[in-house]
Amino acid sequence: MTEPGVPARSRISVVICAYTEDRWGDLVEAVESVQAQAGCVDLETIVVIDHNPSLLERAGRSLAGVRVTENVEGRGLSGARNSGVALATGDVVAFMDDDAVAAIVAIPGTLLGTAIGPKYEPPPEYNATVTLTIEQPQHVELAGGVEGTGV
């Protein structure tokens, strides 16, 4: 049973920002790790390309099932995240680095998220698991560059 006013199955918008083709393989892994959660949660994946026309074209052509957009604000992570948030339709928006691998699972009334860096095994104190109840705006930053805001 869910809490009053909390959707039984919240929609999560995951915004992944990228700026260089040097990390293309990482970006693909990040997107695939989010898409792998689609059976567990209602997901929307938004990839924001930060002022790199060739990467924008490649991502738009190659990343199926993902909304690919350009950063319409100033260069940098803040502008890219703001561009992604402007398109997000989820009850919760999570920010993920393009070189992280995520596992996000929604259960009634809560969002449970973990993040694991793809290239190394983080120390136990950085391998975070956070549960937050979606009642009021909250912000959480997890290991591996995943952040989330519940609304």
Q: Which residues contact 45 (CB under 8 A, 6 or more apart)?
A: 13, 14, 16, 31, 34, 35, 65, 66, 67
**pLDDT recorded at residue 27:** 97
**pLDDT recorded at residue 92:** 85
**pLDDT recorded at residue 148:** 53
pLDDT digits (tens, 9 = 90+) for 43-95: 899 999 999 999 999 999 999 999 999 999 999 999 999 999 999 998 888 89
Q: Which residues contact 24 (CB under 8 A, 6 or more apart)?
A: 55, 58
> pTM here?
0.68
CATH topology of domain 11-150: Spore Coat Polysaccharide Biosynthesis Protein SpsA; Chain A (3.90.550)
Question: Which amino acid is residue 2, in one-letter code?
Answer: T
In angstroms, the CA 146 to CA 117 distance is 10
- 109 close to 4: Cβ distance less than 8 angstroms: no
Task: Give 85-137 as a DSSP string.
Answer: HHH--SSEEEEEETT-EEEEEEETTEEEEEEE-SSS---GGGS-EEEEEBTB-
**pLDDT recorded at residue 145:** 52
pLDDT digits (tens, 9 = 90+) for 101-125: 876 544 434 444 444 434 434 445 5
Domain ranges of the chain: 11-150
Higher-scoring residue by pLDDT: 50, 33: 50
